[in-house]
């Protein structure tokens, strides 16, 4: 299995899950629009790929077609929302939390299904357990 295909497939599964929660199409999330709900969906996806899949900022940036500093900002904003330090409406925060949960489920499905990247195959690991922004698999 190609490492890049695996990563993009996992990204697409997370985008589909978040799009369903926010009631938009996956293409809308992939575009550069900065509407509030679209941004919240993107932040949920970025947070999930960084924290749950343990992908580096650079890797998530490549997957989301953004600079790694934009990914860092999105991840940090997501952490602020989780900590309750945001001025978002309760309904927006609920959708945000649901989107993170949906992305988590997709990542866990990959774990249960034993989907691995080519670098990890044979080791029994699906995601690397390195530092938060450590070397890429």
pLDDT in the model for residue 107: 93
- Threshold 0.85, pTM exceeds: no
SS (H, E, C) the chain: CCHHHHHHHHHHHHHHHHHHHHCCCHHHHHCCCCCHHHHHHHHHHHHHHHHCCCCCHHHHHHHHCCCHHHHHHHHHHHHHHHHCCCCCCHHHHHHHHHHHHHHHHHHHHHHHHCCCCCCCCCCCCCCCCCCCCCCCC
Asked whether residue 132 carries a pLDDT value surpassing 70, the answer given is: no
pLDDT tens-digit readout, 50-76: 999 999 999 999 999 999 999 999 999
80, pLDDT greater than 60 = yes
pLDDT at 116: 61
pLDDT of residue 5: 84
Instruction: Report residue 47's pLDDT band, with 50, 70 and 90 as the boundaries.
Output: very high
Q: What is the pLDDT of residue 117?
A: 54
**pLDDT at residue 2 tops 80:** no
Could you please state the CATH topology (level 3) that the domain comprising 3-113 is classified under.
Answer: Chromosomal Replication Initiator Protein Dnaa; Chain: A; (1.10.1750)
Mean residue pLDDT across the chain: 85
Work out the average pLDDT over 91-120: 85
Residue 43 has pLDDT above 50, yes or no: yes
The average pLDDT across 18-47 equals 94
């Amino acid at each position: 299995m190609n490492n890049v295909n695996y990563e993009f497939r996992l990204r697409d599964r997370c985008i589909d899950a978040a799009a369903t929660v926010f009631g938009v199409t996956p293409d809308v999330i992939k575009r550069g629009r900065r509407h509030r709900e679209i941004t919240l969906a993107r932040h949920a996806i970025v947070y999930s790929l960084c924290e749950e899949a343990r992908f580096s900022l650079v890797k998530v940036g490549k997957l989301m077609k953004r600079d790694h500093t934009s990914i860092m900002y999105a991840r940090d904003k997501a952490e602020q929302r989780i900590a309750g330090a945001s001025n978002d409406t309760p309904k927006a925060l609920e959708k945000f939390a649901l989107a993170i949960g949906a992305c988590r489920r997709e990542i866990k499905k990959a774990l249960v299904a034993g989907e691995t990247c080519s670098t990890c195959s044979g080791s029994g690991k699906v995601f690397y357990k390195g530092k938060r922004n450590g070397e890429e698999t």
